[in-house]
Each structure stands twice: as C-alpha cells, then as structure tokens.
Amino acid sequence: MEYVYLAAKHAHSGLRWVVLVLLILTIVNALGKRNGGTVYPAKNKLALFGLISVHVQLLLGLALYFLLSPLVSFEEGVMSNSVTRFYTVEHLVGMVLGIILITVGYSKAKRQAGINKGWKTVGIFYLIGLVVILASIPWPFRDLGAGWF
C-alpha cells in the first residue's frame, strides 16, 4: 500500500503543474478572444483539457483522501494540528470549490456555442477557479510538508 500511496501522491503533486499551465493557457486564450468577434466553439480544446486535468486531480485527490493519505484524519484533535486540518478541511473545500467553478464555466460556455459570449464565460470562471486553486495548494513555503513536484 505504501508504494500505491507514494505513486498517487507524486502523480497528484506533479499533475498540479499540468493543471496550472492548462488553466493559464485557457484563460489567456479565452480573454484574448472575448472582444474579437469570434464565435465560441461547441468544444474548445484548451478549456476541455483544463477541465479534464482538474477532474483527474479530483479522482486522485479522492483516493488519497479516503484511502491512502495519513494526513487526513477524522479523529479528535485534527483541527488543532495545522497539517491535518489543512488536508482534511481546507485543501478539500478549496479544491472542490475551484473544480466546481471550472466545471460550471465550461458547461455554461458550451450552451453559448455559436456566439461570442462563451469566451468571456470561460475566461472569468476559469480565472476565479485558478485563484481559488492557487490559494489551496500546499506550496513548500506554507510549511505543510509538501514539495514542488
């Protein structure tokens, strides 16, 4: 189980960079086109890949949360330790909120296919989602025991 835990943890940690790059590219592309008179396509590839990347993180995160991670606990005292509190409550709530924002933005924009509006919808929802995700990442300087990769 130890190897499965380490593999899932490193995949989850490394995939953060794929998520961040895809979200930034989607936002820059979408906001750049919002006034350009281009119609939003039924399937915007970048927005779709960004959506898939956060959903893969959600699945890996759920496996870590409920099955593998020793840093998640439902015992008494979890709130008085900043590391277990972060992973049990703050990381989960922040990330789920960020993923919901991105999912809602993608589906709302899909319904605006054929008109210019979808770019702005994707740009704004993905941007707010990105900010929430950035704030919920256990960056090494936050002293939560996590690394850069």
Residues that bind ligand HEM (CB under 6 A): 9, 12-13, 16, 19, 54, 57-58, 61-62, 64-65, 69, 71-72, 87, 91-92, 95-96, 133, 137-138, 146-147
Least distance CB 91 / ligand HEM (angstroms): 5
Least distance CB 117 / ligand HEM (angstroms): 26
Residue 75: C-alpha distances to residues 72, 80, 93 (Å): 9, 11, 18
> What count of Cα atoms within 13 Å lies in the side-chain half-sphere of residue 122?
38
Q: Which of 85, 117 has the CB closer to ligand HEM?
A: 85
H runs (alpha helix) in 2-67: 2-33, 45-63
Least distance CB 47 / ligand HEM (angstroms): 15
Structure tokens at 125: 């929802």
